[in-house]
Amino acid sequence: MRRTVVALSMLFLCLGLLPSAVYADEVRIFQPREEGMSPNEMRQQALHLSFEEAVFQAALKLLPQPPSEERATLLRERLAKDVEPFVLGYKELASSPTPEGLNMLADVDVDRRGLRAELESLGLFQTIGGPLAARVVADPTLTGEDLERLRSLRILTGIAPSAVTLPELRLGREPDGPVRGVLHSSTGNWSALDPDLETVWFHLWERYFQSSAVAHRGLRTEVLSVSGWFTPDGAHEFDNMLQGWESLLREARLVDMDMAPEGVSARWEIAVADRAALVTRLEEYLPARGLGYTLSNSDQ
């Protein structure tokens, strides 16, 4: 039989098996009763709390290790400010009013791809294993309130003030009030101006963390080859499973599939966050199903 290499895009179009980045999280919350709040208002507030909890729990699952308690609290507060973009749908499973408030159980569909991008822009992936040493220069024009906020922003982003030369962030207020920030680094230089200190901070560090040299710091890009399936369906099922290994992989992309007389094999390009844990997971899953695999550097 002639060996056929199936193009990934065509195979997905024919079979309709595009990997999903949407996952449902079941959450249980309690909304305290507030004076003057109608039953409908209490239900809407309970739903919003469900969204906040589901998105926060999904964020923790995406990270390769848990953040400190203080950092987790700051992350929850940050995500809660604009949680709706990460919620693609929900289903209210159960609710029970009590004299004290409303208990609710809900199934919330979270856009984990968008959430992952948000965590990357905040520097969580890059600094979860240890803070980034940076020189942060606060101009005397900053207020006492500004300096208090800076401390929280440094903890959330994982920035440790240091005497290093680069990266260097300078912050100060203009005579008419707005905050100006200038970030110098070996990967680029950026500036921002906004009335809100937090907006300037995140705008600049997002540019830094998204710069190519930083975005892949600490990541291994490898090729995962798996063989032994009888049909392409098995490879697609495994691909869907890989998309769920969020704490082990930053990305998994199916690049080709090979159908031969001896069976079906497939290759993925993967960005590895935790190689040891990935190998353990592969060893637990693949050999027991009669599948073989190799894991090699992408440049080999």
Read off the pLDDT of residues 144-158 as tens digits, 9 standing for 90 and up: 999 999 999 999 999
Amino acid code (one letter) for 45: Q
Its CATH class, for the domain covering 125-215, is alpha beta
Run of H or E including 125: helix 124-127
Give the pLDDT of residue 245.
87
Cα-to-chain-centroid distance, residue 149: 24
Q: What is the pLDDT of residues 194-245, one digit of tens each?
A: 999 999 999 999 999 988 555 555 566 899 999 999 999 999 999 999 988 8
Supply the pTM of this predicted model. 0.73
* Gap between the terminal Cα atoms of the chain: 29
Strand order in the sheet with 168-173: 159-161, 132-138, 168-173, 179-185, 188-194
DSSP class of residue 84 equals G
- Give residue limits of the domains in the chain: 22-114, 125-215, 219-297
Structure tokens at 63: 């990270």
Rg, Å, the chain Cα set? 23
Fold adopted by 219-297: Alpha-Beta Plaits (3.30.70)
pLDDT at residue 216 in the model:
57
The pLDDT of residue 276: 84
pLDDT tier at 16, thresholds 50, 70, 90: very low
pLDDT at 54: 96
- The C-alpha angle 127, 133, 134, rounded to 5 degrees, equals 115
